[in-house]
A and B are shown apart, each in its own frame.
Chain A
């Protein structure tokens, strides 16, 4: 019985932890995935394997679907326990090398005044800097800001940051919260793309005061 229980637990943890290629079409739309698909097609062709890029993607998706289905089937009975305890093995640390990293930038100004940069990750002073560098808060914008569509959390986050800034700086009337996409190039990787502004939001004191901050 003991041997059986140990085996069941180990198998469950292994199924959860093993890096199965659980790919979806959305994942493969990412520029990094596109680059990797091209690179692997070229590599396989060099090794004498005749395959096109589209065929490789189709096979990747088929394997991904099967792997995903297998993992879900194995873990389904444990779902209530995993949810109640928040435990599992699906923790990713540095799992994804993102060449277009997002940098959170917060600026503020009085109406028609000059912009003052208050935070440009990871640099920022005072309470705002402490808040935005805190690991749990960083998780919010790291998770949402780099995505093509950051979802409903980004406007909420932006309004919350703006409210924090405006509470500390009564001289400001506007706050801009945005992400600068920075192209990280490995040594010998050619010139970097220029920085791009992503998801810029302008928050006005008048609107926040009118209660917009409380809306989802």
Chain B
């Protein structure tokens, strides 16, 4: 059991929320820049459209066509709509509006676009999708994010679960302030103050949270 716990402890480390937020913002900025260039150079249809609509790839000629053109008609309009959706989701990811959902949808749409013309999808694009999967399962929107700002009215938004332990808990081992009474509490964070629901696990006897 001890070995298993050590193994889990080795890999199960929470990343700092600001790091995740910075990755989220910068990654979305890169995507916006990339697709802004695609739009500016009028490359949407050549790169992402089906051959029949003037695309360079032949997605429908493949044994397993992309789901995009199986579910939707293989037209230039669908390619343009998908690219615009990617741009919109990149923007919501960057500002932190539903960032996890945005990251998850981006992964799916970018994967579909990659299947239209695989040579135009570079190694770095796969790395971007790998990172977006991580962001979709992370608390990347907990800080430097518009969503929590709209919810709480204060910057930088909610403090993530892991970070409350270090910023809100007294070192004496007392229960965190707010346990057992209010539903929410304020916590200080190096770049601001935020409010989030009390984590009941942090109030358990013996918890240092």
Enumerate chain A interface residues (CB-CB to B < 8 A).
Answer: 2-3, 6-7, 10, 83-93, 127, 130-131, 134-137, 139-140, 142-144, 152-153, 156-157, 160, 214, 216
Would A6 and B130 be within 8 Å (CB), given that A85-B107, A153-B119, A216-B51 are in contact?
Answer: no
Interface majority SS (helix, strand, loop, mixed), chain A: helix
CA distance A3 to B108 in the complex (A): 28
Q: Is A160 within 8 A of B115, CB to CB?
A: no
Residues on the B chain within 8 Å of A2, using CB: 8, 12
Q: Is B41 within 8 A of A92, CB to CB?
A: no
Q: Is A137 within 8 A of B120, CB to CB?
A: yes
A136 partner, pick from B4, B122, B126, B127, beta carbons under 8 A: B122
Of B53-61, B91-99, B184-192, B195-203, the segment with at least 4 beta carbons within 8 Å of chain A is B53-61
Interface majority SS (helix, strand, loop, mixed), chain B: helix
Q: Is B38 within 8 A of A136, CB to CB?
A: yes
CA distance A193 to B90 in the complex (A): 47
Find residues 127-161 in chain B having any chain A CB closer than 8 Å to their own CB: 127, 129-130, 133
Q: Is B129 within 8 A of A87, CB to CB?
A: yes
Would A143 and B123 be within 8 Å (CB), given that A131-B43, A216-B51 are in contact?
Answer: no
Q: Is B123 within 8 A of A91, CB to CB?
A: yes
Q: Is B56 within 8 A of A157, CB to CB?
A: yes
Q: What are the 3 tightest A-B residue pairs by CB atom distance, in nearest-first order?
A: A86-B111, A91-B123, A143-B119
Residues on the B chain within 8 Å of A3, using CB: 4-5, 7-8
CA distance A130 to B37 in the complex (A): 10
12 inter-chain pairs at a CB distance below 8 angstroms, sorted by A residue, are A3-B4, A6-B12, A86-B107, A86-B114, A87-B111, A87-B126, A88-B130, A127-B41, A140-B119, A153-B57, A156-B51, A216-B58
Q: Is B127 within 8 A of A91, CB to CB?
A: yes
Which residue of chain A is the closest to B125 with respect to CB atoms? A86
Residues on the A chain within 8 Å of B72, using CB: none
Which residue of chain B is the closest to A157 with respect to CB atoms? B56
Which residue of chain B is the closest to A90 with respect to CB atoms? B126
Minimum distance in angstroms from A91 CB to a CB of chain B:
3
Q: Is A84 within 8 A of B67, CB to CB?
A: yes
Among A131, A136, A137, which residue has the most Cβ atoms of chain B within 10 A? A136
Among A91, A143, A144, which residue has the most Cβ atoms of chain B within 10 A? A91
Which residue of chain A is the closest to B57 with respect to CB atoms? A153
Which residue of chain B is the closest to A86 with respect to CB atoms? B111
Residues on the A chain within 8 Å of B11, using CB: 6, 10
Which residue of chain B is the closest to A130 with respect to CB atoms? B41
CA distance A183 to B151 in the complex (A): 61
B28 at the interface (CB under 8 A from A): no
Which residue of chain A is the closest to B107 with respect to CB atoms? A85
Among A2, A84, A86, A136, which residue has the most Cβ atoms of chain B within 10 A? A86
A216 partner, pick from B5, B43, B61, beta carbons under 8 A: B61
A139 partner, pick from B4, B54, B120, beta carbons under 8 A: B120
CA distance A90 to B130 in the complex (A): 11
A84 partner, pick from B61, B111, B121, B127, beta carbons under 8 A: B111
Q: Is B129 within 8 A of A85, CB to CB?
A: yes
Q: Is B108 within 8 A of A84, CB to CB?
A: yes
A140 partner, pick from B7, B67, B117, beta carbons under 8 A: B117
